[in-house]
Amino acid sequence: MSTHIALLRAINVGGHNKIAMADLRDLCTALGLGGATSLLQSGNLVFRSDQLMGAALEHLLEVETTKRLNVSADYVVRSATEWKRIIARNPFPEEAKNDPGHLLVMFLKTAVLAKRVDALQASLEGPEIIRGDGKQLYIVYPAGIGRSKLTTALIEKKIASRGTGRNWNTILKVAALCP
């Protein structure tokens, strides 16, 4: 069985789209996904599957979360192999080492075009730095994420793909859960 990481978008934020992690683990078990483990309350799941992968797995989880938990949420799924590659390809190793809380990877549903990443970077008025790599954006928020005008909504509009972000600390914690 292959190990996968599923990230939920916009759950348990400000009292909206509330889902207990135990319910997500139980959902995975009911769907035949093995060894489901969750991390934090922001929707980080690690599990095994030998049948579905990628977009098909995302679709199944989205449909079943709506049906069984009555919550509509986007999922972004990566294999453990892809996760390791994401860590290895980080274009900001100094930031990962010295300020991991301000380095974010945005995991996207679809690959982003380089010209859209360039246009997004050019439109910024703040100190943020963005690099695209396939279905990921690596973003440095030197002045902090919470006060930045570079929001998820703005990113999704400019790059034409939905996604969810995790800071570098969380990315490494998820990696530690993968065999």
Instruction: Point out the domain boundary residue: 31, 63, 81.
Output: 81
Cβ-contact 22, 28 below 8 angstroms:
no
Is residue 172 predicted with pLDDT exceeding 70? yes
Same domain assignment for residues 76 and 102? no
Cβ-contact 168, 91 below 8 angstroms:
no
Is residue 168 predicted with pLDDT exceeding 70? yes
Same domain assignment for residues 119 and 136? yes
Residues 99-109: tens digit of each pLDDT: 999 999 999 99
Is residue 52 predicted with pLDDT exceeding 80? no
Is residue 89 predicted with pLDDT exceeding 90? yes
Same domain assignment for residues 87 and 172? yes
How much of the chain is in helix, strand and coil states, percent to nearest 5?
40, 25, 35
Quote the CA–CA distance of 123 and 116 in Å, as a whole number.
11
- Report the interhelical angle of 114-123 vs 152-159 (nearest 10°): 130
Same domain assignment for residues 7 and 47? yes
Quote the CA–CA distance of 67 and 7 in Å, as a whole number.
18
| Mean predicted confidence (pLDDT) in 49-65 | 89
pLDDT given at position 105: 98
What CATH code is carried by the domain that includes residue 168? Answer: 3.30.70
What CATH code is carried by the domain that includes residue 68? Answer: 3.30.70.1280
Q: Considering just the CA atoms, what is the radius of gyration of the chain in Å?
A: 16
pLDDT given at position 43: 82
Same domain assignment for residues 77 and 95? no
Amino acid at 54: G
Instruction: Point out the domain boundary residue: 81, 109, 135.
Output: 81
Give the range of the structural domain holding residue 50, as residue numbers without chain letter. 2-81
Q: Report pTM.
A: 0.92
pLDDT given at position 16: 67
Residues 1-51: tens digit of each pLDDT: 799 999 988 765 556 677 888 888 999 999 999 999 988 777 889 999 988
Percent of the chain with pLDDT over 70: 97
Structure token digits, residue 19: 């889902």
Is residue 147 predicted with pLDDT exceeding 90? no
Same domain assignment for residues 105 and 145? yes
pLDDT given at position 173: 96
Main-chain phi, psi angles of 54, to 5 degrees: 50, -130
pLDDT given at position 40: 76
Same domain assignment for residues 112 and 51? no
